[in-house]
Amino acid sequence: MVDGTGQPRVDGGISTRRAWRWLAVAVVLGLAAWAAWAMWLKPAPVTASGPNPWTGPVPVRVVPVGQQALAQRVRSIGTVTPLQVVTVRSRVDGLLARVLFTEGQEVKQGQLLAEIDARPFRVQLAQATGALRQNQAQLANAQRDLARFRALFEQDSIARQQLDSQEALVAQLGGSVQAAQAQVDDAALQLSFTRIEAPAAGRLGLRRVDAGNLVTASDSDGLVTITQTQPITALFAVPEQQLNDVRLAWRDAARTGGSLAVEAWDRTESQRLALGRLVTLDNQIDTATGTLRMKAQFDNRDEALFPNQFVNVRLLVRTAQDARAIPADAVQYGSRGTYVYVVEEGKARVREVALGTRDGEQVAVTSGLAPGERVVLEGLDRLREGADVVVVPDGQPPRTVRQLQDAQAKPASP
């Protein structure tokens, strides 16, 4: 086509090409949408590896209900406390002459730890001894005069009053001798206090006073502290709900001359630190916490327990013999209470159970299960009542459900 000037027109050709181009794009998009729709409706093929694991039988691992002895333990958090904590102080005032211990040292009762300058106390003892001897000499002289006065009185040579006066003098001097003896004993005692000895056995702490310092009996800080670590105790609290079981077990053990075993575990409960015994119960329940405080004692010969250390305490109350036991991980909790899945004729069945004593990873079942029944331990997240299951054998499990079914259907080789 040409316009009025004789030149060809191009607008119509350009519009036609654009129209065909948009038509081609629309066709391509339509084909892509149809292909996606067809792929979405097409069912997933069943491969040679077996049915869809989300719709087919559920692979599970089971454990039989066994019978074994389970220990009933009360668990609590405790604090390690030493039997004795003694602050070593000087009982006299004076110059600290020598320090004879090392920080952190294990000491025995009566061991010499330090010495105070004893020269002033020796002088006081000498003065008291001299006064005592003087009084003893005066008493001896008065006693000899009393003997002569008695002989003269029998001869009627002196008056009765003179004899009585001499007897009173002897008694007076006897009292002076006793007072002087007490002063000697006190001076000797003060002198002995210049030797500072360990009042108890245990481990020493950090030294608080160095040699050369003046120490006083009124100093509250002292020289050093002694903490007894062998044996050592742990304080813990038991809820009042469990108090009756503990009291009954405590009473039964006391009748036979025994005691309840107590274990101390570390903070993560991965290592047992010490084994001891329950020694006492408090006489009243703490109304603020509703717990009763108890004390256990440990030999601690390896010093695994340290004062003020936090430990996990396990108090053995009793041991249930021939209890029906299953792993605690097999127990489920829901609105109906506690239940487990058991396998019956290739299907999962819900079984409500009542639990008893728990010992580590095992828990006792008081009702709901019989010995030998198979309880589901693994694969619980996909189970429901009546679901088809395939039991995974022990060891390396097959990789597919079909292989599991084939392994179970294959007769055992003779």
What's the average pLDDT block by block, 10 residues per block, for the chain (414 residues)?
49 64 77 67 45 67 87 90 94 95 93 95 96 95 92 88 92 95 96 95 93 91 93 94 89 88 92 94 92 95 93 89 86 88 89 84 87 88 85 62 52 48
**123 - beta bridge partners?**
none
Shortest CA distance to 388 belongs to which of 61, 147, 57, 124?
A: 57
Strand-by-strand arrangement of the 85-88 sheet: 85-88, 224-227, 202-204, 106-107
Q: Is the same domain home to 287 and 335?
A: no
Burial 372-403 (b: 16+ CB within 10 A, else e): ebbbbbebbeebeeebebbbbeeeebbebbbe
Residue-range definition of the domain harbouring residue 235: 73-82+231-319
Kindly report the number of other CB atoms within 10 A of residue 103's CB atom: 10
Q: What is the pLDDT of residue 13?
A: 54
Q: What is the CATH number of the domain that holds 154?
A: 2.40.50.100
Residues 6+ apart with CB under 8 A from 53: 59, 400, 401
Q: Which residues pair with 354 in a beta bridge?
A: 367
Q: Do 221 and 109 share a structural domain? A: yes
pLDDT at 30: 77
In this prediction, residue 382 carries a pLDDT of 82
Longest Cα–Cα distance of the chain, Å, equals: 192
Count up the domains in the chain and report the number.
4
Strand pairing class (58-64; 389-391): parallel
Phi, psi of 226 (to 5 degrees): -120, 125
Please give the pLDDT value at position 134: 95
Residue with tokens 């995974």: 392
**Are the CB atoms for 321 and 69 separated by under 8 Å?**
yes
* Shared-domain flag, residues 131 and 158: yes
Does 223 share its domain with 236?
no
Q: Are residues 123 and 78 in the same domain?
A: no
Q: Write the single-letter amino acid at 309.
A: Q
In this structure, are 106 and 221 located in the same domain? yes
For tokens 């002895």, the residue is 69
CA distance 265 to 260: 16
Global pTM reads 0.63
Asked whether residue 135 is assigned to any structural domain, the reply reads yes
Confidence at residue 51, expressed as pLDDT on a 0 to 100 scale: 46
Of the candidates 177, 104, 171, which has an alpha carbon nearest to the alpha carbon of residue 136? Answer: 177
Same-domain pairing of 376 and 295:
no
